[in-house]
Amino acid sequence: MPANLSPEYKRADEQYRQAKTHEEKLAALEEMLATIPKHKGTEHMQADLKRRIAKMKEAPATKAGARSRDIFHVERGGAGQVVLLGFPNCGKSALVGALTNARVSVTDYPFGTHAPVPGMAFHEDVPIQLVDMPPMTPEAVPPGMMGAYRSADIIAIVVDLAASDALEQLDGCLNVLTNRGIWPVGRRVGRDERDAEGRQLKTALVLGTKDDLPGAADTFAALRELYGERLPMLSVSATTRHNLDAFVSHLFTTLDVIRVYCKQPGKPPDLGAPFILPRGSSVVDMARAVHREFPEKLKYACVWGSAKFDGQQVPRDHVLRDRDIVELHVPS
């Protein structure tokens, strides 16, 4: 059976041949695996790509002691990582600048952002990492940049509601993802979850920016009519701050995490820095987050909040709830 390789695969293959660094080669291989047609005629090629990717991921560091730096990689932080995707001048940088202390570059000309810029937004006392990525177009997407979207917890697709091509922007962003094997969905999924066809599922939402400008409301209504059943959509404004809190609240809910506060025996709880845990976490999960040796040393715990009464001694498998206060008792 002929392979019938796609143009996207051929571009990734060429990028692999031209790649000079370990990260560039790995990103191109992952792009090739994501874009290769999935049928019987490519099964051996798929297996070979998977083998090469696994081998590269296990490769030792360079002689300098570390691999070449991947400019698109951002260390995860906070309760989850939300990576923004959008065309030039769509409002990504202004949005991140309005919600975080990140030093973004907000310009009137396209391609003002040249590398990822992370910042921390807050839902109450819960930090959530926003990453302003360089803009893309369907014709120009650095393969290394797609790795950031593949590893993100949530992709925020940003569309300029004041632009005449708002629909083309949204279609273009969706095509960039789906053509590379990333399938945006409106529900919470695992970071590497895939569907029956092998496509990587990724939690996503659509953000319509600049909703304070003329015509934005009509544009958003049209987009919602077309895509509202597929993905959550929200209109925002970095200038007036309309719906910015609603956006961060949506991220907190979608990440499906809880905050838990630690209390030392005989002292008031530390309410300044909560531990962020996946919903459904237990007392022993909390102990592990505090210190890796605590689960083995833990004698018992007392809980304020989800317990039957404040300060109740609970078992190790007691499931915690948002805003619980936990007092861990371990040998000193």
Where a domain ends, among 200, 222, 255? 255
**Domain assignment present for 71:** no
Where a domain ends, among 206, 235, 255? 255
- Whether 213 and 136 map to the same domain: the answer is yes
Q: pLDDT 10s digit of each residue in the chain, 332 long?
A: 566 787 778 877 877 887 777 767 777 787 788 888 888 788 888 888 888 888 887 765 444 444 455 678 888 889 999 999 999 999 999 999 999 988 776 655 454 456 889 999 999 999 999 999 999 888 777 767 888 999 999 999 999 999 999 999 999 999 999 988 899 999 999 878 888 888 899 999 999 999 999 999 999 999 999 999 999 999 999 999 999 999 999 999 999 999 999 998 889 998 888 999 999 999 999 999 988 888 888 988 999 999 999 999 999 999 999 999 999 998 87
The pLDDT assigned to 29 comes to 83
- Whether 145 and 102 map to the same domain: the answer is yes
CATH number, residue 324? 3.10.20.30
- Whether 170 and 308 map to the same domain: the answer is no
**Domain assignment present for 70:** no
- Whether 268 and 248 map to the same domain: the answer is no
- The pTM (predicted TM-score) of the whole model is 0.78
Supply angle C-alpha 256, 317, 268, rounded to 5.
75
Which structural domain range is residue 196 located in? 81-255
The pLDDT assigned to 67 comes to 47
CA pair distance 72, 302, nearest whole angstrom: 43
* Total domains in the fold of the chain: 3
CATH number, residue 152? 3.40.50.300
- Whether 167 and 93 map to the same domain: the answer is yes
- Whether 219 and 270 map to the same domain: the answer is no
**Domain assignment present for 73:** no
- Whether 202 and 309 map to the same domain: the answer is no
CA pair distance 173, 156, nearest whole angstrom: 10
**Domain assignment present for 294:** yes
Where a domain ends, among 232, 255, 278? 255
The pLDDT assigned to 145 comes to 85
- Whether 246 and 263 map to the same domain: the answer is no
- Whether 200 and 164 map to the same domain: the answer is yes
The pLDDT assigned to 59 comes to 66
Is residue 36 within 8 A of residue 6, CB to CB? The reply is yes
CA pair distance 166, 209, nearest whole angstrom: 10
**Domain assignment present for 32:** yes
- Whether 116 and 243 map to the same domain: the answer is yes
- Whether 247 and 159 map to the same domain: the answer is yes
The pLDDT assigned to 330 comes to 84
**Domain assignment present for 69:** no
Side-chain half-sphere CA neighbours of 262 within 13 A: 16
SS3 of residue 31 by DSSP: helix
The pLDDT assigned to 90 comes to 94
- Whether 191 and 325 map to the same domain: the answer is no
**Interacting residues of 66 by C-beta distance below 8 A, sequence separation 6+:** none
Quote the tokens at residue 98: 């309005």
**Interacting residues of 93 by C-beta distance below 8 A, sequence separation 6+:** 104, 105, 106, 107, 112, 113, 117, 132
